[in-house]
Amino acid sequence: MGMWRMRRSRLIRVLCGLAIALCAETASADSSALAPVPRDPRYPSQWWTPVPKEGAPAWEILPQEAGPGEVILSKRNELGLLSNFAPTPFRFHGQRYASLEGFWQMMKYPENAADARARFPGLGWKYTREQVSQLTGFDAKHAGDLASENMNRMGITWVTFEGQRMEYKPRTPGDHYRLIVEATREKVRQNPEVQKVLLATGNLVLKPDHRQDPDAPAAWRYCEILMAIRAELQKAGPGTVARPD
């Protein structure tokens, strides 16, 4: 009986020691996870102001989640001007668009009555192409989602601009990507405040405020497009976005 008690006492001490070590390791990990990421003082501190996760949309990447040398293009501050959703009107090929998102989503809609999308049996289009071009934010996104459903029903993977069909999600960058880059460049060029905010990000790595598929087509990676335009601006000087040859 005495031997059993000694063994039990020794086992209890060992288990207590393991529990203490585990608690210490967990506390250290928690402390590390909560440690603030160093931010460059040359940039506005509000770009990284923490936002409570409770109540935030599930899709959102919050400002404080940016890594070292990064900044989230959050719609919660002025960096939201760089979002496709922002109401930053621009003219492109003689047409006015209310936002880059409106431009993007309107390409899913029929161009005219002779368009194959307009003639497809049983399909209804809640908006016209012109109406979508004047939408911004989630309104434009919603209109695009409705059009995507019609595209799925038709079994098509293309959109159009000025009568030209182009693959919407090509494996390699193509006409759609080049069009989005060109339109983004015009948005920046024609909106001085957008250009000012973009230049203010200096050499920070721009990151989206929503989850993206790591294999998303190039046109979806708008942060990379903006950083390329920023480099053009930094080289050419404010007010002039260099045009590609």
| H helical segments located in the chain | 2-34, 100-106, 116-119, 129-133, 137-154, 175-190, 192-200, 222-236
Could you give all domains of the chain from N- to C-terminal order, each with its CATH number?
79-236 (1.10.357.40)
Q: How many CA atoms lie within 13 A of 118 on its CB side?
A: 11
CA 133, 135, 141, 144 torsion-angle sign: negative
What's at 30, amino acid-wise? D
pLDDT at 214: 85
Strands 90-92 and 95-97: antiparallel
pLDDT score for 29:
42
Looking at residue 36, its pLDDT comes to 80
**pLDDT on residue 213:** 87
Read off the pLDDT of residues 217-230 as tens digits, 9 standing for 90 and up. 999 999 999 999 99
The set of long-range contacts for 177-184, using a CB threshold of 8 Å and a minimum separation of 24, is 177/217, 177/218, 177/219, 180/100, 180/104, 180/219, 180/222, 180/225, 181/219, 181/225, 181/228, 182/92, 183/90, 183/92, 183/97, 183/100, 183/103, 184/100, 184/222, 184/225, 184/226, 184/229
Write out pLDDT tens, residues 85-132: 999 999 999 999 999 999 999 999 999 999 999 999 999 999 999 999
pLDDT beneath 50: ranges in the chain: 14, 20, 23-24, 26-33, 242, 244-245
Measure the CA–CA gap between 83 and 61, rounded to whole angstroms.
Answer: 13
pLDDT score recorded for residue 94: 97
Query: In this predicted structure, what is the pLDDT of residue 237?
Result: 73
Per-residue confidence (pLDDT) for residue 148, from 0 to 100: 98
Tokens 């069009």 sit on residue: 179
> Strand, coil or helix: what is 74?
coil
Q: How far apart are CA 100 and CA 107, in angstroms?
A: 11
Helical segments of 51-99, H only: none
Q: What is the pTM of this model?
A: 0.82
